[in-house]
């Protein structure tokens, strides 16, 4: 009798295991999407899901090279003009074919001032988008800035949507109809989102998985336990210390240095902070290695003005004395600036992505050189308002990074830049930024950006800290998964599970 | 008599709800950082006009009083509006989340009543004996440990000890009862521990109070058997404060499961509310608050009715 | 009168648990009053040598991710947490008893009005209230006291109202009223003494939950801002590392449990001692 039961049990387990098996990946993530309209979303959590559902004209491969997506190829005709050739065999998830009309409509929709799309500003310098016939599409620019344009085309906010679908009155924040490798099969808010393989994806044999279920588990301990229990196959790890709980012979660990970086943002008009010598002193009084050890458990790297992994453009942080810990030099600089007895300022931070922890370590480190940093811990919504209104002495936050120097630097350091919340204004910096984006000679462009990087460290409008590693862990059944430097998960399309 | 009392209470609940929703509305709008700020975050590339368009598209450019009036108007036609973030109808979101929280709160309260009331009465009857001490100290320990601390310990122990136990991954009760009960077990126990301890203490104290009352002593003096005295006379009266405690706790559980829902990844009202507050999703916060408000008001009326049923000396109204 | 007091003290200490708890609580009160004397280190001092160290000779309770001494942080945490909880519950007890007794005693319209307000407060999600107060006035100890105090007021109001109604039916109150005593007299002479044991129980129960509320607020990021240590905040910080570094959460959690345990035992002991109907 007992035997019969155990046979039945084994049978049931087998059935369950098989039912589970065949290419259905369960992926524990920490946050859920807020809205599904590719042209409106701003939340990273929405991007992460939708980049597998929608396609743009271009996309990044795992090495952050721009590669064709819905555009089969492109040709830079002159520095102001680029022509794309669309793929011909693409269909939307509802079965309708992708047409030139859909592409034109999508950019109209993005640029429509009534939409309030975050991507609208990408295309302010675009003078015309034209159908040249023969599946060819021409972008003409007012300025010779094709390179940043190409980067802007690779992102969920520049996705191509179906004109017919949008005009049928579909609620785009709730319903999706993309051309990507997966389509949303089920979404239970606060619980899970299931993506189903799209059978007629334009690339043969892609995706490899039949389905992905994103299970939303906000607590780190919950995600780690779920992975260890076998409830999920793949999990986002937010606390590097959790890796200690995952033995190497049962789990695969994925570490991906990302382009985003932590910064100590400074109000360059606030008291002592107005003096670049003081700002450089702060930079040298911060022990970044200790910071990385304490907050990121070593899973991070010191970053410079451009991320050091972007070898084509970056002047490595080791080239600057400002990025190494040197309290002696910091004190000398403070002395020179007339703050030999120290000064006090406040650091605003929210309890998010370890911002509060970074602030605590910086507070303790600055105390060593006689600078008294008072912590102003606020809720995230309040933080954003303070950031927007430049209502702070300094703050800890994270900026998204880019492999393109114009995307990385212009909006942050130009005196008119949209995310220059530092009251930073330097005529030479503006000049270099403007020259850099228009320069078409690669060597000259490199020289401009190199000079700019030295100048930006000299000025230190804010303090670059570090870029963390993005961490994931999976059971050994998962293969082919690789997170990307821009935190994108498009490689899920080539992920497999045994 | 009863019906008019209930109707009266329901009518008098209306000002309560008006005060509540108005306070929440004002509070949320006074807090710095609004839904658009949070939507755009610190990677904001929009021009000033585009931001203004966003405000007017979301209906946030109208004066506050007008916005509240509109919300109220819709509320009385049972329209809770749609989320500013996702565009989903708020009513639908609540209908989806409420069963989770309700199940959690109900399981917790059932667990705590089953554990707390008998232990409390036993403890009171066996006053100052060894079992009494043990139960009291255990109750006190249950009362003294932080809920999320207990929850975290459960997670560690369970994930270490049972390989095939589903600790995470909520499924609705009627979709897969087996998995649902597994997922709900430890959150309910975690949440119920403290309530159980509280109910145990309340039962014990109240039982002791009643046992020392005149009529019980008289009954005892009359020579009625102890068991009969306890069950027939004492228990009934002792239950009055217990019912209050349980009612109050159930109310608190409805709105107070946020920590446990976060810890065990349950898609309930608490998490919805926390998220909506963090994102300043006004219609969702308003809707959830009004819903919880209605629920608690109804619960309070129920507690009052139970009161009068248990202790007939208390008159309704 | 003196003999009476001595009798009560003797009665209280008759139970060894009461004596032990009083000692434990006394110890923590001393710790809270003079944290600097007890703590081996500065609670904010970061020590890179001992990075997330498990308990060792130099750090009895281990260190956190910044190399800060857990024991020292607990010592200062005891001070902060006890202060917040005591003040918050005192505020709630004063406000709630006032509202509850008046509502229960006078009944009718007074009761109706007060209880509607109390119901509204009850239905006010604690999180929003806390967020509101902290956002408007900034995260600080006094604001947390007010936030927790207001959240707990309706509990006292409801319980005290229930007890008052129940006591009001009793013979001695009815007779006192019939004898024409003033309302104030009846409330202070007859009602309050008879609900004081419930008040003590409610106070101790809610003192524990107030400590835990502070913990939950810390857990949700709405507590006293770091680096200031509070017991709740310490558990909240540590629960993220529970699998890897259990000591960070376990020790402060145990201390919360210990303090609350001793206070609750004392509360019970006081109740038994003060209650004129017991022990005769």
The strand pairing partners of A195, in sequence order, are A184, A212
The pLDDT of residue C220 is: 67
Range with the poorest average pLDDT among A111-120, A171-180, C68-77: A111-120
- In this complex, is the C-beta atom of C106 within 8 Å of any C-beta atom belonging to chain B? no
CB A447 within 8 A of CB A458: no
DSSP string, B102-150: HHHHHHHHHHHHHHHHHHHHHHHHTTTSHHHHHHHHHHHHHHHS-HHHH
Asked if residues B147 and B258 have their Cβ atoms less than 8 Å apart, the reply is no
A257 compared with C222, residue with greater pLDDT: A257
Taking CA–CA distances from A385, the nearest residue in chain B reads B33
Q: Tell me whether residues C242 and A379 touch, CB distance under 8 A.
A: no
Q: Is the dihedral of CA B3, B4, B10, B16 positive or negative?
A: negative
Q: Provide DSSP, A450-462.
A: HHHHHHHHHH-SS
Query: Could you tell me which of B84, B49, B109 has the C-alpha nearest to residue B280?
Result: B84
Q: Which two structure tokens, joined as six digits, stand for A332?
A: 């000398």
Could A377 and C242 be called an inter-chain contact, meaning their C-beta atoms sit closer than 8 Å? no
| Cβ pair A316, A305 in contact under 8 A | no
Closest by CA to A54, choosing from A69, A33, A75, A68, is: A69
- Can you tell me which residue has the tokens 């970061």? C46
Mean pLDDT of C154-180: 81
Please state, in angstroms and rounded to a whole number, the distance separating the CA atoms of residues B198 and B115.
Answer: 11
pLDDT over 90 (residue A469): yes
User: Is the confidence at residue C8, as pLDDT, over 80?
Assistant: no
The mean per-residue pLDDT over the stretch A237-259 comes to 88
CB contact under 8 A, A244 and C242: no
Q: How far apart are the first and last CA of chain C?
A: 18
* Percentage of residues of chain C with pLDDT beyond 90: 11
Taking residues C228-257, report their average pLDDT: 81
- Find tokens 């606020």 and name the residue: A378
Distance from C-alpha of B218 to C-alpha of B125, rounded to nearest angstrom: 17
User: Residue B71 is encoded by which pair of tokens?
Assistant: 């919300």
Q: Hey, which of A86-95, B36-45, C156-165, C199-208 has the most confident mean pLDDT? A: A86-95
Q: What would the mean pLDDT of B150-178 be, rounded to a whole number?
A: 75
Which residues pair with residue A466 across a beta bridge? Answer: A302
Three-state SS at A170: coil
Q: Which residue of chain A has the CA closest to B163?
A: A229
| pLDDT recorded at residue A493 | 92
Instruction: Identify which of B43, B230, B15, B39 has the alpha carbon closest to the alpha carbon of residue B120.
Output: B230
Backbone angles phi, psi at A264, to 5 degrees: -100, 100
Region B180-200: what's the mean pLDDT? 86
Taking only residues 265 to 304 of chain B, the set having a beta carbon closer than 8 angstroms to any beta carbon of chain C reads 273-274, 277, 285, 289, 292-293, 296-297, 300
Q: Which residues of C touch A220 (CB under 8 A)?
A: 240
Candidates B34, B58, B59, B87, partner chain A, best to mutate (most A CBs within 10 A) = B87
User: Using a CB-CB distance cutoff of 8 angstroms, which residues of chain C are in contact with residue A381?
Assistant: 135
Would you call B49 an interface residue with chain A, using a CB distance cutoff of 8 Å? yes
More confident residue, B246 or A25: A25
Does the distance separating the beta carbons of B205 and C201 come in below 8 Å? yes
Q: Which residue of C has its CA nearest to B274?
A: C127
**CA gap A404, A314 in Å, rounded:** 10
On the question of pLDDT at A262 being above 80, the answer is yes
User: What pLDDT was estimated at residue B105?
Assistant: 87
Q: Please check the confidence at residue B145 and state whether its pLDDT lies above 80.
A: no
Residue A84's pLDDT is 95
Q: How confident is the model at residue C138 (pLDDT cuts 50, 70, 90)?
A: low
Q: Enumerate the residues of chain A whose CB falls inside 8 A of the CB of residue B279.
A: 34, 381
Which of C46, C221, C243 minimises the CB distance to A361? C46
Smallest CA–CA separation between C78 and chain A, in Å? 21
In this complex, do C44 and A364 lie within 8 Å of one another by their Cβ atoms?
Answer: yes
- Chain C residue at shortest CA distance from B17: C120
Kindly state the average pLDDT of the residues B27-52: 75
With vertex at residue C69, the alpha carbon angle to CA A361 and CA C53, rounded to the nearest 5 degrees, is: 90
Instruction: Supply the DSSP symbol for A242.
Output: G
How confident is the model over A162-190, as a mean pLDDT?
A: 90
Weakest mean pLDDT among A167-171, A173-177, A303-307, C230-234: C230-234
The phi, psi pair for A43, rounded to 5°, reads -70, 135
In angstroms, the CA C125 to CA B290 distance is: 10
pLDDT the model gives residue A17: 46
In chain A, the residue whose alpha carbon lies closest to the alpha carbon of B171 is: A191
Average pLDDT for chain C: 81
Enter the tokens of residue B101.
């929280």
**Closest partner CB to C46 (pick from A244, A245, A364):** A364
| C243 to A244: CB separation less than 8 angstroms, yes or no | yes
pLDDT of residue A374: 92
Q: Which has the higher per-residue pLDDT, A124 or A185?
A: A185
- Choose between B41 and A350: higher pLDDT: A350
- pLDDT band (50, 70, 90) for residue A128: very high
Band (pLDDT 50/70/90 cuts) for residue A15 is very low
Q: Say if the Cβ atoms of C48 and A293 lie within 8 Å.
A: yes
Q: What's the Rg (C-alpha) of chain A?
A: 25
Q: Could you tell me the end-to-end alpha-carbon distance of chain B, in angstroms, rounded to an integer? A: 9
Distances (CA, A) of A340 to A9, A322, A334, A344, A345: 75, 19, 5, 12, 15
Q: Confidence class of residue C279 from pLDDT cuts 50, 70 and 90? A: very low
What strands, in cross-sheet order, belong to the sheet with A136-141? Answer: A71-78, A81-86, A136-141, A126-133
Q: Structure tokens of A95?
A: 């079965």
Strand partners, A474: A234, A252
Of the listed ranges A18-32, A121-135, A430-444, C53-67, the least confidently predicted one is: A18-32
CB of A273 less than 8 A from some CB of B: no
What are the CA-CA distances from residue A440 to residues A83, A423, A444 (Å)? 17, 30, 8
Q: What is the mean pLDDT of residues B237-251?
A: 71
Mean pLDDT, chain B, integer: 79
| Start-end of H helices in chain C | 2-14, 16-33, 35-38, 70-106, 108-122, 126-137, 141-168, 171-178, 183-185, 192-219, 231-239, 247-274
The secondary element (H helix, E strand) that includes residue B196 is: helix B177-211
Structure tokens at A360: 């605590």
Average pLDDT of the segment spanning C249-276: 78
Q: Which single residue is written with the structure tokens 């004190």?
A: A331
Give the tens place of pLDDT for each residue, A71-114.
999 999 988 999 999 998 899 999 999 999 999 999 999 998 87
Average pLDDT over residues B38-45: 70
Assign C89 a pLDDT band (cuts: 50, 70, 90).
very high
Please give the Cα distance from C8 to B303 (Å, whole number). Answer: 37
Rounded distance between C-alpha atoms, residue C273 and residue C13, angstroms: 9
Write out residues 266-305 of B within 8 Å (CB-CB) of A.
267-268, 271-272, 275, 278-280
| Beta-carbon-side half-sphere exposure of residue C117 (alpha carbons within 13 Å) | 13
pLDDT above 50 (res C280): no
CB A117 within 8 A of CB A110: yes
- In the structure, what pLDDT confidence band is assigned to residue A14 with cuts at 50, 70 and 90? very low
Check B42 against A190: CB less than 8 A apart.
no
**Among B148, B198, B297, beta carbon nearest to C239:** B148
Cβ proximity of A130 and A218 under 8 Å: no
DSSP strand pairing (A234-237 vs A466-475)? antiparallel
DSSP H or E stretch at residue B6? helix B2-30
Q: Do C232 and B146 touch (CB under 8 A)?
A: yes
Cβ separation A364–C222 shorter than 8 A:
no
Structure tokens at B173: 């009760």
Chain A touched by C244 (CB under 8 Å): yes
Rg (C-alpha) for chain B, rounded Å, is 24
Chain A residues contacting C via beta carbons under 8 Å = 220-221, 224, 239, 241-242, 244-245, 290, 293-295, 297, 351, 356-357, 360-361, 363-364, 375, 377-379, 381-382
CB contact under 8 A, A113 and B155: no
Q: Is B209 on the interface with A (CB under 8 A)?
A: no
Contacts of B279 (CB under 8 A, 6+ apart): A34, A381, B35, B38, B39, B85
Whether chain A has a CB inside 8 Å of the CB on B141: the answer is: no
**Is there a contact between A244 and C244 if contact means CB atoms under 8 Å apart?**
yes
Q: Are residues C125 and B289, on separate chains, in Cβ contact within 8 Å?
A: yes
pLDDT reported for residue C135: 59
pLDDT on residue A18: 44
Query: pTM of the predicted model, to two decimals?
Result: 0.79
Closest of A148, A104, A103 to residue A124, by C-alpha: A148
Instruction: Compute CA distances C157 → A98, A162, C162, whole Å.
Output: 65, 59, 9
Return all residues near C3 (Cβ < 8 A) that are at least 6 apart. Answer: none
Burial of A100 (0-12, 13-18, 19+ CB in 10 A): middle
Q: Which residue has the higher pLDDT, C202 or A193?
A: A193
CB-based contact, C248 to chain A, within 8 Å: no
For the residues C51-55, what does the mean pLDDT come to? 84
With beta carbons under 8 A apart, name residues in chain B contacting A191.
170, 267
Q: What is the pLDDT of residues B71-112, one digit of tens each?
A: 888 888 888 888 887 778 899 888 888 888 888 988 988 898
Least confident range of B311-315, C77-81, C199-203: B311-315
């Amino acid at each position: 009798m007992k035997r019969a039961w155990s046979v039945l049990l084994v049978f049931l387990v087998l059935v369950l295991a098989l039912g589970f098996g065949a290419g259905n990946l369960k992926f524990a993530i920490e946050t859920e999407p807020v809205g599904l309209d590719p042209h409106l979303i701003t939340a990273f959590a929405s991007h992460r899901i939708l980049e597998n559902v929608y396609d743009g004209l271009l996309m990044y491969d795992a090495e952050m090279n721009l590669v064709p997506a819905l555009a089969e190829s492109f040709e830079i005709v002159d520095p102001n003009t680029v022509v794309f050739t669309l793929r011909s065999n693409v269909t939307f998830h509802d079965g309708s074919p992708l047409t030139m009309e859909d592409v034109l409509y999508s950019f109209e929709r993005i640029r429509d001032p009534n939409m309030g799309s975050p991507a609208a500003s990408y295309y302010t310098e675009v003078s015309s988008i034209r159908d040249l016939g023969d599946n060819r599409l021409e972008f003409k620019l007012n300025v010779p800035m094709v390179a940043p344009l190409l980067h802007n085309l690779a992102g969920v906010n520049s996705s191509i949507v179906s004109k017919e679908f949008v005009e049928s009155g579909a609620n785009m924040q709730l319903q999706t109809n993309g051309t990507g490798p997966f389509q949303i099969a089920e979404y239970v808010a606060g619980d899970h989102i299931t993506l189903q393989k799209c059978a007629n994806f334009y690339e043969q044999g892609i995706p490899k998985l039949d389905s992905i279920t994103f299970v939303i588990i906000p607590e780190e301990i919950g995600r780690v336990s779920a992975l260890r229990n076998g409830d999920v196959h793949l999990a986002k790890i937010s606390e590097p210390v959790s890796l200690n709980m995952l033995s190497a012979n049962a789990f695969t660990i994925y570490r991906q240095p990302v382009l985003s970086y932590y910064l100590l943002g400074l109000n360059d008009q606030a008291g002592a902070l107005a003096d670049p010598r003081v700002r450089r002193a702060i930079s040298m009084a911060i022990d970044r290695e200790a910071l990385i050890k304490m907050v990121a458990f070593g899973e991070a790297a010191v970053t410079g003005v451009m991320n050091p992994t972007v070898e084509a453009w970056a002047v490595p942080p080791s080239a600057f004395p400002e990025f190494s810990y040197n309290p002696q030099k910091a004190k000398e600089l403070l002395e020179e600036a007339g703050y030999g007895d120290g000064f006090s300022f406040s650091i605003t931070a929210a309890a998010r992505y370890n911002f509060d922890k970074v602030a605590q370590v910086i507070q303790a480190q600055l105390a060593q050189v006689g600078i008294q940093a008072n912590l102003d811990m606020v809720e995230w919504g309040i933080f954003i308002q303070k950031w927007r209104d430049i209502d702070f002495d300094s703050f800890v936050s994270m900026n998204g990074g880019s492999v393109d120097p114009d995307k990385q630097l212009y909006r942050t350091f130009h005196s008119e830049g949209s995310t220059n919340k530092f009251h930073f204004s330097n005529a030479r910096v503006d000049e270099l930024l403007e020259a850099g984006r228009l320069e078409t000679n690669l060597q000259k462009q490199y020289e401009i950006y190199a000079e700019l990087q030295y100048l930006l460290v000299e000025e230190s409008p804010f303090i670059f800290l570090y870029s963390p590693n993005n961490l994931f862990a999976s059971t050994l059944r998962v293969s082919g998964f690789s997170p990307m430097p821009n935190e994108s998960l498009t490689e899920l399309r080539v992920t497999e599970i045994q | 008599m009863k019906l008019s009392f209930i109707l009266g209470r329901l009518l008098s609940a209306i000002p309560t709800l008006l005060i509540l929703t108005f306070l929440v509305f004002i509070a949320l709008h006074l807090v710095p950082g609004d839904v658009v700020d949070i939507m755009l975050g610190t990677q904001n590339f929009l021009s000033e006009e585009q931001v203004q368009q966003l405000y007017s598209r979301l209906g946030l450019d109208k004066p506050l009083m007008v916005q509240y009036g509109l919300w109220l108007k819709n509320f009385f036609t049972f329209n809770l509006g749609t989320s500013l973030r996702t565009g989903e109808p708020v009513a639908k979101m609540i209908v989806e989340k409420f069963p989770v929280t309700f199940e959690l709160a109900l399981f917790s309260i059932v667990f705590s009543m089953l554990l707390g009331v008998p232990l409390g009465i036993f403890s009171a009857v066996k006053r100052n004996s060894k079992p009494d001490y043990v139960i009291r100290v255990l109750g006190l320990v249950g009362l003294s440990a932080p809920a999320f601390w207990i929850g975290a310990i459960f997670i560690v122990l369970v994930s270490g000890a049972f390989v095939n136990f589903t600790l995470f991954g909520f499924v609705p009760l009627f979709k897969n009862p087996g998995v649902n009960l597994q997922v709900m077990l430890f959150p309910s126990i975690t949440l119920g521990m403290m309530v159980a301890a509280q109910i145990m203490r309340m039962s014990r104290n109240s039982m002791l109070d009643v046992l020392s009352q005149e009529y019980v002593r008289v009954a005892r003096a009359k020579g009625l058997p102890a068991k009969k005295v306890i069950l027939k006379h004492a228990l009934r009266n002792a239950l009055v404060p217990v019912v209050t405690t349980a009612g109050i706790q159930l109310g608190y559980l409805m709105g107070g499961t946020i920590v446990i829902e976060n810890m065990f990844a349950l898609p309930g009202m608490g998490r919805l509310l926390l998220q909506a507050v963090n994102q300043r999703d006004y219609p969702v916060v308003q809707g959830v608050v009004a819903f919880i408000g209605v629920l608690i008001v109804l619960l309070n009326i129920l507690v009052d009715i139970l009161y009068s049923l248990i202790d007939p000396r208390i008159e309704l109204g | 009168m003196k003999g009476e007091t001595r009798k009560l003290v003797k009665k209280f200490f008759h139970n060894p648990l009461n004596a032990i708890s009083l000692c434990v609580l006394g110890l923590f009160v001393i710790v809270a009053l003079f944290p600097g004397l007890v703590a081996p280190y500065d609670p904010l001092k970061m020590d890179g040598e001992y990075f997330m160290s498990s308990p060792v000779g130099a750090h009895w309770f281990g260190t956190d991710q910044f190399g800060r001494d857990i024991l020292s942080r607990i010592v200062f945490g005891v001070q902060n947490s006890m202060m917040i909880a005591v003040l918050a519950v005192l505020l709630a007890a004063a406000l709630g008893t006032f509202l509850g007794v008046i509502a229960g005693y006078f009944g009718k319209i007074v009761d109706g009005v007060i209880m509607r307000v109390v119901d509204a407060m009850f239905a006010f999600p604690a999180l929003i209230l806390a967020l509101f107060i902290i956002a408007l006035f900034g995260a600080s100890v006094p604001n947390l006291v007010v936030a927790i105090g207001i959240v707990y007021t309706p509990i006292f109001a409801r319980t005290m109202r229930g007890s008052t109604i129940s006591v009001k039916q009793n013979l001695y109150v009815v007779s006192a009223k019939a004898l024409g005593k003033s309302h104030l007299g009846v409330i202070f002479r007859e009602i309050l003494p008879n609900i004081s044991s419930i008040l003590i129980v409610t106070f101790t129960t809610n003192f524990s939950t107030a400590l835990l509320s502070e913990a939950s607020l810390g857990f949700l990021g709405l507590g006293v801002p770091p680096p200031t240590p509070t017991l709740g905040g310490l558990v909240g910080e540590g629960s993220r590392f529970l699998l890897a570094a259990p000591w960070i959460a376990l020790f402060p959690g145990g201390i919360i449990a210990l303090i609350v345990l001793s206070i609750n035992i004392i509360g019970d002991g006081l109740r038994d001692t003060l209650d004129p109907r017991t022990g005769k």
